[in-house]
Amino acid sequence: MNYSTQMDAAKKGIITKEMEIVAKKEKVRVEDLMELVSQGKVAIPANKNHLSIDPEGIGKGLRTKINVNLGISKDCCNIEMELEKVKKAIEMKAEAIMDLSCFGKTQEFRQRLIHMSPAMIGTVPMYDAVGFYDKELKDLTAEDLFRVVETHAKDGVDFMTIHAGMNRETAEIFKRNPRLTNIVSRGGSLLYAWMELNNKENPFYEQYDRLLDICEKYDVTISLGDACRPGSIADSTDPSQIKELMTLGELTKRAWERNVQIMIEGPGHMALNEIEANMVLEKKLCYDAPFYVLGPIVTDVAPGYDHITSAIGGAIAATYGADFLCYVTPAEHLRLPDLEDMKEGIIATKIAAHAADIAKGIKGARDWDNKMSKARKELDWEGMFNLAIDEEKARRYRKSSMPEDEHTCTMCGKMCAVRNMNKVMEGKNINILREDD
């Protein structure tokens, strides 16, 4: 039987090779996975033209996935440096990479990225449009925007952030309900500005069926962007955010009718006590579609440490329903991240994702922790390093401060609880001040 997309195949009862790969990774029955894909509760972003992809599933009952943002800008236009980041992200097993390039002719970088990456690739075509045509924002036409989308799809992009929920109605809600930080989504602000400058409706909303045509043709997953995501904790869960979310729910159902896979993007900055409710609200209003969140960043006062503020929010968000975490680096709000910033962002986000998987009861999630605990009990340092989420840092810290007794560390030395409990449980004497017998 023929099928157009992963969702179309699932509805027809066809098990694709991508479903088989994902089911094996997730340790779930492929038939159960197929049912979730058919319902839209799991997405498998896998463009037909992305030949190097190692597919992943995002959604209900699956491991929380992470995304790494990178790409060139006008101030930092070093393609080779960004490709080094790509290599590091792949090495660190990030499941997705978003190319957020927003300057110049980006197609060369995007095509090289897709060719070399087993991770799924995402883009925001709106970022590319100004440079693609060398036109000012006001002068772009709807035709221009759809041509960029088709170019990205043809190149092999697996998912695209499209801010289709920023329509005239949402814009009016925003105007009537002033915010502390206005619209902080780059793509959302560009579309809002385009609408205002041209006094027109958002083309991606107005011609949504045309967008679905492109995505169905190449099996591109639409990541419905949150133009009104809060940029400060003061703006979270406000009328603009909720109105847009309601619109995204309507667009989700229309996409599923066309067998186009959907993810929903979410906040943003948000106080800890609002996160759970927002996750429940998204799942309710968007019919349990996979939820992709940036953070949430739980306080606004930690520039230089936003990988931590984001990881705190991300762990809570994923515990209560988020399926996909976009990493945040220490450079957030300050500069384009360098290689070390990227690594710190990946580690922090992986910790958040894994902590949430434990809380959600994802199959096999605790096994990793139990193996680490066993290695600690046995003072098996090599085992601990091999299991560490960041093996290089663990080895470096250990090597930088070696204890007198090689089985312990310089925190406790021979007063090490693990060492002494092992000895006493084995009926052995404990020598703390002297050499062992």
Same domain, 196 and 251: yes
Give the start-end residues of each E strand in 235-377.
Answer: 262-266, 291-294, 324-326
Does 227 belong to an annotated binding site?
Answer: yes
Q: What is the pLDDT of residue 131?
A: 81
Same domain, 72 and 120: yes
* Residue 217 maps to a domain: yes
Identify the domain containing residue 377 by its residue range. Answer: 366-425
Does 258 belong to an annotated binding site?
Answer: no
Per-residue pLDDT of the chain (437 residues; tens, 9 = 90+): 699 999 999 999 999 999 999 999 999 999 999 999 999 999 999 999 999 999 999 999 999 999 999 987 777 778 888 899 999 999 999 999 999 987 776 888 899 999 999 999 999 999 999 888 889 999 999 999 999 999 999 999 999 999 999 999 999 999 999 999 999 999 999 999 999 999 999 999 999 999 999 999 999 999 999 999 999 999 999 999 999 999 999 999 999 999 999 999 999 999 999 999 999 999 999 999 999 999 999 999 999 999 999 999 999 999 999 999 999 999 999 999 999 999 999 999 999 999 999 999 999 999 999 999 999 999 999 999 999 999 999 999 999 999 988 889 999 998 999 999 999 999 999 888 877 65
Does 126 belong to an annotated binding site?
Answer: no
Does 305 belong to an annotated binding site?
Answer: no
Same domain, 166 and 264: yes
* Residue 34 maps to a domain: yes
Angle in degrees, CA 341, 345, 348, rounded to 5: 140
Same domain, 269 and 408: no
Q: What is the CA radius of gyration of the chain?
A: 24
* Residue 435 maps to a domain: no
Please name which of 84, 121, 120, 77 lies closest in space to residue 101, comparing C-alpha atoms. Answer: 77
Burial 274-311 (b: 16+ CB within 10 A, else e): bbeebbebbbebbbbbbbbbbbbbbbbebeeebbbbbb
What amino acid is encoded at 168 in this protein?
Answer: R
The CATH code of the domain that includes 265 is 3.20.20.540
* Residue 144 maps to a domain: yes
Same domain, 126 and 232: yes
Count how many domains the chain has.
2
* Residue 236 maps to a domain: yes
Q: Residue 165, class by beta-carbon neighbours within 10 Å (0-12 exposed, 13-18 middle, 19+ buried)?
A: buried
Q: Which of 360, 377, 396 is the last residue of a domain?
A: 360
Q: What global pTM score does this model have? A: 0.95
Q: Determine the 3-state secondary structure of 221 from DSSP.
A: strand
Does 98 belong to an annotated binding site?
Answer: yes
Does 286 belong to an annotated binding site?
Answer: no
Tokens of 25: 């990774």
Does 292 belong to an annotated binding site?
Answer: yes
* Residue 267 maps to a domain: yes
* Residue 400 maps to a domain: yes
Angle in degrees, CA 159, 34, 53, rounded to 5: 40
Q: Which of 326, 360, 394 is the last residue of a domain?
A: 360
Return the H-helix or E-strand segment holding 121: strand 120-123
Return the H-helix or E-strand segment holding 42: strand 42-43
Does 187 belong to an annotated binding site?
Answer: yes
Does 416 belong to an annotated binding site?
Answer: yes
Residue 262 CA to residue 279 CA, distance in Å, equals 16
Q: Which of 328, 360, 392 is the last residue of a domain?
A: 360
Does 69 belong to an annotated binding site?
Answer: yes
* Residue 226 maps to a domain: yes
Burial 325-362 (b: 16+ CB within 10 A, else e): bbbbbbbbeeebbeeebbbbbbbbbbbbbbbbbeebeb
Q: What is the pLDDT of residue 130?
A: 85
Same domain, 260 and 329: yes
Does 269 belong to an annotated binding site?
Answer: yes
Does 185 belong to an annotated binding site?
Answer: yes
Residue 375 CA to residue 35 CA, distance in Å, equals 39
The string of DSSP letters for 52-92 reads: T-----EETTSPPEEEEEE---SS---HHHHHHHHHHHHHT
Does 229 belong to an annotated binding site?
Answer: yes
Same domain, 345 and 402: no
Same domain, 26 and 168: yes
Q: Residue 103, class by beta-carbon neighbours within 10 Å (0-12 exposed, 13-18 middle, 19+ buried)?
A: middle
Same domain, 162 and 208: yes
Does 333 belong to an annotated binding site?
Answer: yes
Same domain, 45 and 73: yes
Same domain, 268 and 392: no
Does 409 belong to an annotated binding site?
Answer: yes
Same domain, 279 and 374: no
